[in-house]
Amino acid sequence: MLKIGFVSTRFAGVDGVSLEASKWAEVLTRAGHKCYWFAGLNDRNPEDSYTVPEAFFCHPDIEWINKMVFGRTSRSPEVTRKIHELRDKLKHHLYEFIKRFSIDLLIIENALTIPINIPLGLAITELIAETAIPSIAHHHDFYWERSRFSVNTVGDYLNMSFPPHLPSLRHVVINSAAQEELAHRTGISSTIIPNVIEFEKPPDVDPQKTRKFRQHIGISDKDFMILQPTRIVQRKGIEWAIELVKDLNDPRCKLVITHEAGDEGYEYAEWLKQFAEEAGVELIMVDMKIADPWAIKQNGNHNIEDVYTLWDIYPHADFITYPSLYEGFGNAFLEAIYFKKPMLINRYAVFVRDIEPLGFRLIVMDGFLTKHNVNAVKKVLYDKSFCQDMVEHNYNIAKKHYSYEVLRKRLQSILIYFFGNELV
């Protein structure tokens, strides 16, 4: 049995990093290993967790550093001192985390990928370099994929730690474009492990909680819930979901957004509210905390009455909108397929390259919404037999390519590289 330490800025809520980390932990736990959690914000079992507030990207000191180094062309000695002060503190806690739980393997979730906490990335890099502990860097979205990091004063740190090139560190990416770009920019080789869901087992749905959720947000049984299951950030293209509901011209259609704003500011959320009001679209932004279903299950409290997960929301959706401009992979895409829901999707680059060739039946827009798209959505909403054939076809394809078995086999090959056959 291996003792595996997951490390990130946060393991909480339903962001893609937290969700995928939970799935990896579930697969590794089933293989007989024990998982522990290091983060700045943590909703995992406290007995298996080590929480350091400065590891969270919303900690005031980290927010101040980010404000002082991004969008600027020079940094002050004061900023440099603060970065190294926090690096030392976080590295000390990482050493304590490894010691407390006797960690054999680290899995770094995006903390060596996107520089939203520079001191944490530096601390992890130095720790791995100093200890040579077997480590996996699970990369979701690199800094060069985000324009907000393009002007900065921390090129030295980005080259050092985002990501680092170390002998005991193996790299995992979630799409083929990231694999090629990582190799081109850094010379680092990597393994592709796409996002997954346990398609081998249908979702476990609590009918009472799903009905309760629908009542809570004020949607009747006669309404159509058009679900946008993403965070409220501009790259999600949520204005196209509003445009779709407007063009459907059916007062029964209500647009529901499950996740919160905040990671990239609140201006976009306010603009969406105004845009929906002007379009005559009823927009419902869920005003409650939505939990990670895998974390809830692993913590052994999946029957808590007042905790809602995505699994309580998807069953009552009639249609899924996913008009993202960019995605590293697309968790919401897989979740919609898993719950056998029809979907409108924008042809973002990773979808075009890695997903579309597999032959899914979807309503696809290519940067703009057409009358054909709107009519296709109407057919799916009003023709239940047509809809059922579509979603069953999609489920069978996803089961072949994005199941837990795919994840298990690819993780196993990395563990064999580190530990041989005995422990896997």
- What's the distance, CA 406 to chain centroid? 18
Q: Label residue 177 by pLDDT band (50, 70, 90).
A: very high
pLDDT attached to residue 178? 95
Asked if residue 310 has pLDDT above 90, the reply is no
> Strand 283-285's sheet: what is its strand order?
283-285, 253-257, 224-228, 319-322, 343-346, 363-365
pLDDT tens digits for range 3-61:
999 999 999 977 889 989 999 999 999 999 999 999 999 999 999 999 999 999 999 99
Torsion on CA atoms 109, 112, 118, 119, rounded to nearest 10: 80
Domains of the chain by start residue, with CATH = 3-196+404-419 (3.40.50.2000), 207-401 (3.40.50.2000)
Tell me the mean pLDDT in the region 175-179: 95
pLDDT attached to residue 302? 46
Tell me the mean pLDDT in the region 166-189: 97
Side chain identity at residue 89, one-letter code: K
pLDDT attached to residue 298? 60
Asked if residue 364 has pLDDT above 90, the reply is yes
How far is residue 362's CA from residue 348's CA, in Å, rounded to a whole number?
A: 14
pLDDT attached to residue 31? 94
Cis preceding linkage at 323, omega within 30: no
- Tell me the DSSP string of 40-59: SEE-S-GGGEEE-GGGSTTS
pLDDT tens digits for range 277-293:
999 999 998 866 676 67
Radius of gyration of the chain (CA): 22
Q: Which of 61-70, 90-99, 196-205, 261-270 has the lowest mean pLDDT?
A: 261-270
pLDDT attached to residue 265? 60
Asked if residue 172 has pLDDT above 50, the reply is yes
- End-to-end, the C-alpha distance of the chain in Å comes to 8
Asked if residue 303 has pLDDT above 90, the reply is no
Asked if residue 195 has pLDDT above 70, the reply is yes
pLDDT attached to residue 287? 67
pLDDT tens digits for range 215-246:
888 888 899 999 999 888 888 999 999 999 99
pLDDT attached to residue 262? 58
Q: Which of 105-114, 135-144, 218-227, 341-350 has the lowest mean pLDDT?
A: 218-227
Residue 362 Rama label (left phi>0; alpha psi -120 to 50; beta) = beta
- Tell me the DSSP string of 173-240: ESSHHHHHHHHHHH----EE------TTS-----HHHHHHHHHHTT--TTSEEEEE-S-S-GGG-HHH
Tell me the mean pLDDT in the region 168-195: 96
**Average model confidence (pLDDT) for the chain?**
92
Tell me the mean pLDDT in the region 341-364: 96
